[in-house]
Amino acid sequence: MDLPEQFTERTKSLLGDEYASFENALTTDAPVSIRLNEAKSQRMPLLERVPWASSGFYLSSRPSFTMDPCFHAGAYYVQEASSMFLEQAFRQHLHVDQPYVLDLCAAPGGKSTHLASLLSGRGLLVSNEVIRARVKILAENMTKWGSPNVVVTNNDPSDFARLRGFFDMVVVDAPCSGEGMFRKDAASIEEWSVENVKLCSERQRRIVADVYPSLKEGGLLVYSTCTYNREEDEENVRWMIHEMGAELLPLDISTEWNIASEGFGYHFFPHRTKGEGFFLAVLRKGDSSGSYKMKTKQTASSSKIPALFNDWLNSASDFQLFSRNDSFYALPKGIALSVASLESELQIVQAGVTLGKAKGKDVLPDTALALSSLLRSEAFEKADLSWKEAIDFLRREQVFFPNSAKGWVLVCFDGHPLGFAKNLGTRANNTYPQEWRIRMEADESRYEPIWK
């Protein structure tokens, strides 16, 4: 690996005698890891665990995840192991019954799906992405994960300053110079420079300063990067302490994890830990910048909600159902007013779970319902498909259900819902979203099931 000379010099100064081991680690294959969605499956694979994440596992090799229907069902997420360390900050310091959490720089969704699992239906998760082109994949991944207490937004960090004292936790996985991704992304090596490190450091401070007012007094700021240098990591944390009055919080970690810390956060180095380069620090906000006053307007019309949703949903009474433009949605009742307030402040891409759409006198169930924890699966006839049939369905090709009655069929693979099809007898209407469809040719030789 041809590393930039200035990067080598700076990292040698940082690591000292460990540098040779560090550089050698960059020539090895990057570990492959996944995080299970325990809301969808309680089966634990016989794999090596990621020690700092309760549902994280290492794979021995990288399969073609596109060829695994369980991946598309949201049964697991492919996430770099080091970044799963966020779980420790959440579990050790967020002691709120119904927390409001913001993932500010969320696409493609690794930390947001993790936070959704940690919240386990409690409180509210706002998953934000400033780049419009990236927010679509974020929304798709959050839909597949299936949590109902999630709002996806497309806003600049400065927009959140209007929400003073709204969040109990703000996660800022800041755009950075990408040093920790050198092993996986050759382009990040070519783009690296000392000047870019400086620009990134300055931008990171602006992002944190912009969003900081939205954090409650005593709330948690989790700051992370995929870099090693002190400018973007320790020096920025020091700035947050001195300029913003934040309190740095320690994490109780095992010495066996081989995570490095010099007192201003936690570093993952590839020669020490089984993962990519990563840095994380947890800070507590001191003085209050005021509190946000909730708006009182309703989220949307809640009239004319079809009665069939009482049969389609688990615990329908726990959710506020509403309609907009012939479509129907569900939000947990406890956060409905908060989401209504967010609608007047932010650019909301999606909120809660899309249940279906009215078409004449009928209601067409939405794929989001099939993938969500709200679905009462007994309300629909199920068709558990073979691998080839499931891939055909995900490619949005014709799938037949000769053994099913006419009507809506919940399409599954290995027990995991994938979406809906309307069985017409001699054929079926495949309603899988066109923008999600698999474009690769089916190749079962590339399918390697997570659960053997």
CB 73 within 8 A of CB 418: yes
The C-alpha atoms of residue 15 and residue 22 are separated, in whole angstroms, by: 8
Q: Is 226 one of the annotated active-site residues of the chain?
A: yes
Catalytic residue among 70, 105, 176, 226: 226
Domains of the chain with bracketed CATH: 5-284 (3.40.50.150), 380-446 (3.10.450.720)
**Three-state SS at 442:** coil
Q: What b/e string do you get for 265-286 counting C-beta neighbours within 10 Å, with b at 16 or more?
A: bbbbbbbbbbbbbbbbbbbbbe
Predicted local distance difference test score (pLDDT) of residue 298: 56
Predicted local distance difference test score (pLDDT) of residue 301: 53
Angle between helix axes 110-119 and 86-93 (nearest 10 degrees) is 30
Burial class from Cβ neighbours inside 10 Å (0-12, 13-18, 19+) for residue 371 reads: buried
**Three-state SS at 256:** helix
β-pair type (278-284, 215-225): antiparallel
β-pair type (327-332, 353-359): antiparallel
DSSP codes of every residue in 360-414: TTEEEE-HHHHHSTTB-GGGSEEEE--HHHHHHHHTT-----TTS-SEEEEEEET
**Three-state SS at 24:** helix
CB 198 within 8 A of CB 248: no
pLDDT block averages, 10 residues each, the chain of length 452: 93 96 95 96 91 97 96 98 98 97 98 98 98 96 98 98 96 96 91 96 98 97 97 97 96 97 94 97 85 64 78 91 92 95 96 94 95 94 96 95 92 97 92 97 93 80
Predicted local distance difference test score (pLDDT) of residue 302: 57
Burial class from Cβ neighbours inside 10 Å (0-12, 13-18, 19+) for residue 325 reads: exposed
Predicted local distance difference test score (pLDDT) of residue 289: 63
Before 306, cis peptide (omega within 30)? no
Predicted local distance difference test score (pLDDT) of residue 213: 96
CB 79 within 8 A of CB 110: yes
Q: What b/e string do you get for 85-97 counting C-beta neighbours within 10 Å, with b at 16 or more?
A: bbbbbbeebbeee
Q: Where are the alpha helices (DSSP H) in 16-106?
A: 19-25, 69-72, 86-93
β-pair type (124-128, 150-153): parallel
Region of residue 351 (phi > 0: left; psi between -120 and 50: alpha; otherwise: beta) = beta
Predicted local distance difference test score (pLDDT) of residue 186: 86
